[in-house]
Amino acid sequence: MKRAIILLAFSALLLLPSAGLKALTALPEKDYSWEASIRKDHPRLFLNKQDIPRIKKNAVGSEKFFFDAMVKRIDPLLNEPIVFKDLLIASGESSKDHEWGTRASESAMLWLITGDRKYLDYTKNLLTELAGYYQFRCDHNLNITWYAFSQICAICAYDWVYNNLDKNERADIGRALFKALDDIAWHTPGRRKPRQRENVSDHMSGCYGPPILPWYLGLAFLGDGIDDDECRKMLHEGYDLFQKMSVFRAEMAGEKGGGATACGTYAFGYYPYADFNFIYSMKAATGIDVSEKMTYVLGYLSYLDWIRLPYNREYGFGDVHHYNCMLPERDINAHIFHINNIYGVAHPEILPVADRLLKKFSLYRDIEPFPFLRLLKNAPPKTAKIDAVAVESAKSIYFDTMGQVYMRSGTGDDDTYVLFVSGGVTLQHKHYDNNNFIIYKKGWRTVDSGTRPEPGIHLSHYYCRTVAHNCVTVRMPGEVMPAYWGGPALCEEQDIPIPNDGGQCEKIGSKLLELTETPDWVYLASDATPCYHPAKVSKVVREFIWFCPDLFVVMDRVASKDASYPKTWLWHTIEEPKALGPKEWKEASEGGAMICRTLLPEDAAQELIGGPGRDFWSDGRNWPLPVLCPDDWGYGKRHIVPPETHPQLGHWRLEVAPGKPAEEDIFLHMMLVGDRDLSSMPSSTLKRDGKTLILSFQYGGKSFTLNFDTEALYGCKIDAK
């Protein structure tokens, strides 16, 4: 009964009209009428005086943990000097100096809650020192940090103690803080020189760099006599940015949900804070609730529900660190909290899904990027009452804008999970991986190999390339592959050309031709031809059939413009596959195993590539992880580079190639996943009848016959008895 209620709630979530573009048609463009509603009094940034009683209640009630954590951080600092240790460091994110801005917001919040003057005095001192720190970095044309979060916190602190500053303090602290932050916020060409590691990305990214500062500066300082004209420019600039961001993110959410990017680490890392912060700050300052014009946020829940693997892992799609492939669960805990807090009353249908996900993502940060946000909690919404009707959980879903088909046999730790890559519109953190598939059963049965050292040519020359994925390559001699972001470490050879891996030259352009789901199987067909160089291929179409819960059939139709162009089918694994017989291999790692059988080409040549010195092989050489130098990128090592033997990097691949050249070839494989003791897969027969290729086997107590029309672009008739 409980399961049925949850499933119905989830179905209702998927059907919300706000998940797509319709929710955004009412968002105003260049309409600043809301400016007249900005409060004249302080505080007004994220909260106003009407909110303080509720915040105080939360501090001793449901959110006491976060209040107590603030006290534990701030109290030991009250009698200590405020010291900025790395004033001239090349990039501020390599230092903790910028965190004083966050401490200022915590101290100011403690003043609002407790009324203890020690917190007020400490906030004043911090703001004075921060203004000097910001100005010093600006004068030396240095950034503060990649994220603008701590600077927003400093602005909040000023707004929250404004009523307790005398005239001179408002002039001295306010003007100094405004001047420095104004310099940081405005980064347009011609205004000032660019700065190293300054995140000036636009509305199509995370919206967490300096471009978001004008909105918060304008809200906090408007009407205070410092520079109202500049504040209005900032407010308009900031508002326009958030409007464009909202339109873009609604487009990315599509009809069924999604993120601002199809890479889960980013979509559910810091990206959603831009949504929540704009909603909270707009309402506190103006009384206007824009949440119903941004209901694409609800689509985050459905997308999150499908991209999650057991133990809060993710598939490893796109620019994910393959260190542990963990979703950012502590951030996700916060995001679900805010979705509940903002939308729970108006959209109670989301609550069962959100509550279920919160049980999965139960960990939270001791300190969050905006540590005060939890204290803004409203009265807890009531769980929706939904009539319990037995419904079957969907086995598949296509997030069309993300370019991802997800399949799963259930949501338990022992279930089978699949991601297939096709279509999509987003380029952010996307690889050359169309028609790729990742299968998870008690561990990754097929993997995206490599990882993202930054810097390191492993990232740009191997990890993002088609050869690192479970795809098909067609090598045309002399093809020049497109560049990808990143560059060599200082200890690596410089200016090495991108290897010709025979892969794709476009990150998007594939098309999902069909997706059909039945109780026994899910069938899809995808055309990735447009993603390959038009001079080398005329057809790269994959049909992927999942026979629930653990058997797969993969059919690839590949036609090259020249018969001499080698075609290769790839299967990437964590451990070395072992031969079970002619053209049949088994790989076992973690708690599971997979058997792969090649049925076509009949004369297939198979080669295992991997092991030390060959695990990231492409175009005649290996592309290993770099040994990072202390001065890489001017500020030291940024990201964890795991040992080269780290399992989740995927150290082996099976390459399957036709035995003789031909313009057109068919690859046909059967795969079975299961426990580590998996020893065999169902026997199969393959025969031809004119243009029809007929595959027969028994599985799950049924006899299946698959009829592939080999003269069509795609097509398979499946009979089950």
Summarize pLDDT for 326-335 with one digit per residue, the tens: 999 999 999 9
Beta strands, E only, 646-715:
652-657, 664-675, 684-689, 692-699, 702-709
Average pLDDT of the chain, as a whole number: 92
Residue 640: its pLDDT value, please?
Answer: 60
Distances (CA, A) of 708 to 185, 514, 658, 689: 59, 14, 19, 10
Q: To the nearest whole percent, how much of the chain has pLDDT over 70?
A: 93
- pLDDT confidence band for 651 (50 / 70 / 90): very high
Rounded Cα distance, 129 and 290, in Å = 35
Residue 534: its pLDDT value, please?
Answer: 98
Residue 28: its pLDDT value, please?
Answer: 52
- pLDDT confidence band for 454 (50 / 70 / 90): confident
Rounded Cα distance, 417 and 493, in Å = 40
- pLDDT confidence band for 145 (50 / 70 / 90): very high
- List Cβ neighbours of 689 (8 Å cut-off, separation of 6 or more): none
User: Could you tell me the two tokens for 459?
Assistant: 């990232």
- 235-279 pLDDT, tens digit per residue, is 999 999 999 999 999 999 988 999 999 999 999 999 999 999 999
Residue 291: its pLDDT value, please?
Answer: 97
Torsion of CA 402, 407, 412, 415, to 10 degrees: -140
Average pLDDT value for residue range 394-416: 96
User: Under a CB-based contact definition with an 8 Å cutoff, are residues 706 and 553 in contact?
Assistant: yes
Rounded Cα distance, 683 and 116, in Å = 76
Residue 21: its pLDDT value, please?
Answer: 34
Average pLDDT value for residue range 18-37: 62
Residue 389: its pLDDT value, please?
Answer: 34
Average pLDDT value for residue range 28-38: 87
Q: Pairing mode, if any, of strands 537-547 and 472-474?
A: unpaired
- 564-618 pLDDT, tens digit per residue, is 999 999 999 999 999 999 999 999 999 999 999 999 999 999 999 999 999 999 9
- pLDDT confidence band for 16 (50 / 70 / 90): very low
Residue 455: its pLDDT value, please?
Answer: 84
Distances (CA, A) of 480 to 346, 375, 468, 475: 53, 54, 17, 11
User: Could you tell me the two tokens for 255?
Assistant: 């009809």
Rounded Cα distance, 83 and 104, in Å = 14
Rounded Cα distance, 259 and 282, in Å = 22
Neighbours of 687 (CB within 10 A): 9
Rounded Cα distance, 253 and 18, in Å = 9
Q: Is 561 exposed, middle or buried (0-12, 13-18, 19+ CB in 10 A)?
A: middle
Residue 24: its pLDDT value, please?
Answer: 42
The architecture (CATH level 2) of 2-29+38-376 comes to: Alpha/alpha barrel (1.50)
- List Cβ neighbours of 175 (8 Å cut-off, separation of 6 or more): 226
Rounded Cα distance, 137 and 158, in Å = 20
* Model pTM score: 0.91
Sheet with 664-675, side-by-side order of all strands: 511-517, 521-527, 537-547, 551-560, 664-675, 592-600, 584-589, 578-581
Chain centroid, CA 589 distance in Å: 26
Rounded Cα distance, 591 and 641, in Å = 25
- 531-559 pLDDT, tens digit per residue, is 999 999 999 999 999 999 999 999 999 99
355-360 LR contacts (CB < 8 Å, sep 24+)? 355/383, 356/6, 357/301, 357/304, 357/305, 357/308, 357/332, 358/333, 360/308, 360/312
Between 184 and 643, where is the model more confident?
184
- Helix axis angle for 299-307 and 351-360, nearest 10°, is 40
Closest C-alpha to 371, from 65, 129, 56? 65
Please provide the size of the chain in residues.
721
**Is pLDDT above 70 for 636?**
no
Residues of the chain within CATH 2.70.98.70 domain(s) are 396-675
User: Could you tell me the two tokens for 537?
Assistant: 């291929």
Q: Is 407 helix (H, G, I), strand (E, B) or coil?
A: strand
Chain centroid, CA 456 distance in Å: 21
Pick one of 3.30.230.70, 3.90.79.10, 2.70.98.70, 2.60.120.10 as the CATH number of 396-675. 2.70.98.70
Residue 23: its pLDDT value, please?
Answer: 41
Between 23 and 575, where is the model more confident?
575
Residue 11: its pLDDT value, please?
Answer: 35
User: Under a CB-based contact definition with an 8 Å cutoff, are residues 219 and 160 in contact?
Assistant: no
Scored b (16 or more CB within 10 A) or e, 621-641 reads: eebbbbebeeebbebebbeeb
Q: Which residues pair with 437 in a beta bridge?
A: 420
Residue 385: its pLDDT value, please?
Answer: 54
Among 152-161, 606-615, 640-649, 687-696, the range scoring the smallest mean pLDDT is 640-649
- 508-527 pLDDT, tens digit per residue, is 999 999 999 999 999 999 99
Residue 25: its pLDDT value, please?
Answer: 42
Q: How far apart are the first and last CA of the chain?
A: 32
Q: Is 362 helix (H, G, I), strand (E, B) or coil?
A: coil
Rounded Cα distance, 522 and 514, in Å = 10
Average pLDDT value for residue range 642-666: 93
Kind plus residue range of the DSSP H or E element containing 558: strand 551-560
Residue 380: its pLDDT value, please?
Answer: 77
Rounded Cα distance, 480 and 459, in Å = 17
Residue 388: its pLDDT value, please?
Answer: 36
Q: Is 313 helix (H, G, I), strand (E, B) or coil?
A: strand
Kind plus residue range of the DSSP H or E element containing 5: helix 2-14
Residues of the chain within CATH 1.50.10.100 domain(s) are 2-29+38-376
Among 188-192, 462-466, 687-691, the range scoring the smallest mean pLDDT is 188-192
Q: Is 416 exposed, middle or buried (0-12, 13-18, 19+ CB in 10 A)?
A: buried
Sign, CA dihedral 135-136-138-143, equals negative
Residue 189: its pLDDT value, please?
Answer: 72
Torsion of CA 452, 297, 435, 440, to 10 degrees: 70
Rounded Cα distance, 226 and 353, in Å = 47
User: Under a CB-based contact definition with an 8 Å cutoff, are residues 348 and 379 in contact?
Assistant: no
Among 90-104, 383-397, 637-651, the range scoring the smallest mean pLDDT is 383-397
